[in-house]
Structure 1
C-alpha cells in the first residue's frame, strides 16, 4: 500500500477533474455484434428495429465505413415491410418483438453522477419527399414520492433538409430541475415525418461520435476559449477538439512516474492522438498553449 501512495498523490495534485466518459456507450459505433445467429447486427449499448428481422423484416440500421473520423459509423435508412414503414431507429432502451412496431421500451440507467451540458455528435442526411431526421436526448430522475420518472433535462433537433457532408451537432441540454439524472433516453431516427408527419421510405441518416459532453478541467485564465476544449477517449485515440487554434498548442501525456510519454502538436481544431501503443495504465494529460496549461485530465489505457 505504501508503494502506491506516490502514484495516488501524483494524480490527486497533477490534474483537476476527469475527461468525459463515453456516454451513451459505444457512441462512436466502432463495435457491432451479430444477433440471432447472424440474422441481424446491432451496435452494443443501443437498440434498433433490426430485431424485426426475426419476422422477416429488413434491417434499417447498419454498420458503414463512411465515417468522419475512425473506421465505422451508423447508417439509418427508412424501409417498408408489407406496407408498414420501418424507420432507421437508434435508441437507448429495449424492444419487445411481440409488440411489433409498438415494442420500443425506452430508457437506460445513467450512472455518471454528473449533469452533462450538451448532446453532441456528427451526422449527414438524405431525406425523401420532405422527410426529416430527429436527434433527441432526455435525462430522467426517479421521483420516490410519485413513483414516476421526472424529466430533468432535454436536448433535441430536427434535420429538415439534405446535409451531404458530415456536420457536427451540439445541442445544449435545457434543465428543468436541480436533480442529478439517474436514467437517460436517446433517440436517433431517419424519419421524423417532416411537415407532413409521414416518414418516407429511402430517407438515410448517418451518425457518429455521439456522446454527452461535460466541460470540466478548465483553468479560468483562458476563460470562454478554454471551457470549450473537448477531450474524448476511444479505444485507439484521445480526440481533442478546439474552438479555434491555440498559439503553440500541444498535448502531453505523463505516466504514473511523472514521465512524459507522448507529446503531439495541436495544429488543427480536431486532432486524434494515438494512444493504442501506450502500455496499459493511467495517464495524466496536459493541453498547453504558449507554454501555459489550459486543461488537465486523465485517461485510462486498457489492453
Structure 2
C-alpha cells in the first residue's frame, strides 16, 4: 500500500470527482460535553487518582449536615481493585506520608456514616497524626455488615490526645490497607470533625462535603477520545482546513499522574482486545481521504487507521502513515478489501504516535472512489496454516497451493504494521516459511500474505 500525498490544487480536483461517502462528523464541526462528574473540594479521591470517572465516588443529597454527603462504592474486586475513597492528606507506596495543616492537640475523629459492606470485606476510616514530619499516631476503624441509618462514630488515638502539626483523614469503601476488595461494598460519609475529648474542634477541610467542583470535557459528536479529569488530549481547534473547527491530538506527560499519555481518536471504543464498534456502514469505498498537519517528536509517526468489518470478521483496512508538515496536506489512501463481503460497520482510529509532545491536526475525513485501482482479492479455496498458534516467537506458515509472495505483513489491533517481510519468492504447496516474531509485543494480530494472485489472511496470537 502506498500513501499518495497531493498538493492543494490536486486535492480540490479529487474532492470534486470522487463522489465521497460520508464519515459521520468527519469535518469535526459538531462537539458536545462528553462527561460531567463532581469531586469534593479539598479531597483526593478515586476519580482524581485514576484520572477518569469511575462511579466509585458520587455526590449524594442524603445528608446529616447541610445539603450534601459523599457516597463511596467498590466497583471492581480484581487485583487492581477499584474502590471508593476520599483522602485529605498523602498516601505513598509505604503508607501515610503527610496530612492537611493543623496545629494543636487532637484526640480523635467524629463523623456520620451509613454502610453496606459485603461479607469478607470492611470499610476503613483512617486518621493519622503527624508532628515535625513524623507519624506519631494512627487510628483505624473498620465497618462491617450493614447500617441504613446515619450513625455517629467516634474513633480515638490509643495514646489519647497528641500534639500535631498535620493530620491525615481517609475513608474507603473496602479494606484498602490490606488490599481486600469485594464488589458492592459501599459507605456514605458526612459531617467529619476532629475531636479533643468530647469537644468538636473542626479542622477537617470540607468535612461536611458541601463544596464540590465539576469536571467536564468536550468530544466531537460520534467520536470517543483520550481524556483525564481536567485534561483532554484531544481538543477542538479553530485552525481548520475548512469550516470552523478541526480536531487536535497531542501526546502529553501528565505531571499530576506521573504518566505518559497517548492521544487517540476513535469512532468506536477501546477494549483490552483493541478497538471495537464504530459506524454502521454497508458500502465498499476505494479510498479514505483527509487533511492533516503533523508535528512529530523525534522519529515518531502518526497514523489514521480504518478497519471494515462484516459483523466480527475483518474484511478490509487502510493504514495512513503521516509525515511532518506545518500546512494542511491531503492524504488519499487505498482501502484493501480481502474478499467480496459487504461491510456492516467500520472502525476508525487516529493517533499522533507514541512520543510525548507529538501533535496531529485532522480535518475533512471522508471516503471516496478512485477509478483504475485494482482491489486485491482474498484467494478463495486457499488455506494458510500457522504453527504454533498462539506462539511465543517462532512461527511457521504453510499454504495449500503454489503462490508467488510479494510481502508478508502483520497488523496489530490498532492497525499498525508490527512485522513486515518484503521480497518476491515462490512458495510451493506445503512448503514452510519461518517467521521470527520474538521482537513484537503480545497480542492478537492479522497476518496478511500478499501474493501476485491475491491475498491470504490468518489471525495469529502472540503470547
Match of residue 246, structure 2, among 65, 73, 93 = 73
Higher strand share: 2
Higher RCO structure, 1 or 2 (CA under 8 Å, sep 6+): 1
1:29 is paired with a residue whose SS is coil
Shift of 1:84: 2.3
Mapped partners of 2:274, 2:218: distance in 1:
17
> Is residue 41 of structure 1 aligned with residue 218 of structure 2?
yes
Match of residue 130, structure 1, among 278, 296, 299 = 299
Question: How does 1:257-276 map onto structure 2 within 5 Å?
Answer: none
Maintained 8 Å contact 2:21/2:285: no
Q: Which has the larger radius of gyration?
A: 2
2:315 maps to what in 1? 152
Maintained 8 Å contact 1:79/1:87: yes
Aligned residue pair count: 175
Maintained 8 Å contact 2:234/2:249: yes
1:169 maps to what in 2? 331
Shift of 1:109: 4.1
Mapped partners of 2:221, 2:270: distance in 1:
14
Match of residue 204, structure 1, among 355, 359, 367 = 359
> Is residue 107 of structure 1 aligned with residue 262 of structure 2?
no
2:343 is paired with a residue whose SS is coil
Higher helix share: 1
1:8 maps to what in 2? none
2:310 maps to what in 1? 141
Shift of 1:87: 1.5
Mapped partners of 1:46, 1:92: distance in 2:
4
Mapped partners of 2:299, 2:19: distance in 1:
40
Maintained 8 Å contact 1:47/1:95: no
1:39 is paired with a residue whose SS is strand
Maintained 8 Å contact 1:138/1:184: yes
Mapped partners of 1:39, 1:104: distance in 2:
25
Shift of 1:105: 4.5
Q: Deviations over 1:46-78 (max 9, x none)?
A: 11112x32xx5x210000011112111000000
Q: Which runs of 5+ in 2 are unaligned?
A: 1-17, 37-214, 373-463
Q: Which runs of 5+ in 1 are unaligned?
A: 1-17, 97-101, 143-148, 192-198, 216-222, 225-303
1:119 is paired with a residue whose SS is strand
Q: Deviations over 1:103-140 (max 9, x none)?
A: 965222423x3211111100010011221101111101
Maintained 8 Å contact 1:91/1:106: no
Shift of 1:41: 0.5
Shift of 1:208: 0.2
Shift of 1:181: 0.4
The two structures have a TM-score, normalised by structure 1, of 0.53
Maintained 8 Å contact 2:293/2:325: yes
Shift of 1:203: 0.6
2:258 maps to what in 1? 83
Mapped partners of 2:279, 2:216: distance in 1:
28
Q: Deviations over 1:133-169 (max 9, x none)?
A: 0111110112xxxxxx22211111222x421110001
Displacement over 6 Å in runs of 4+: none
2:211 maps to what in 1? none
Mapped partners of 2:315, 2:273: distance in 1:
25
Maintained 8 Å contact 2:268/2:279: no
Mapped partners of 2:344, 2:284: distance in 1:
10
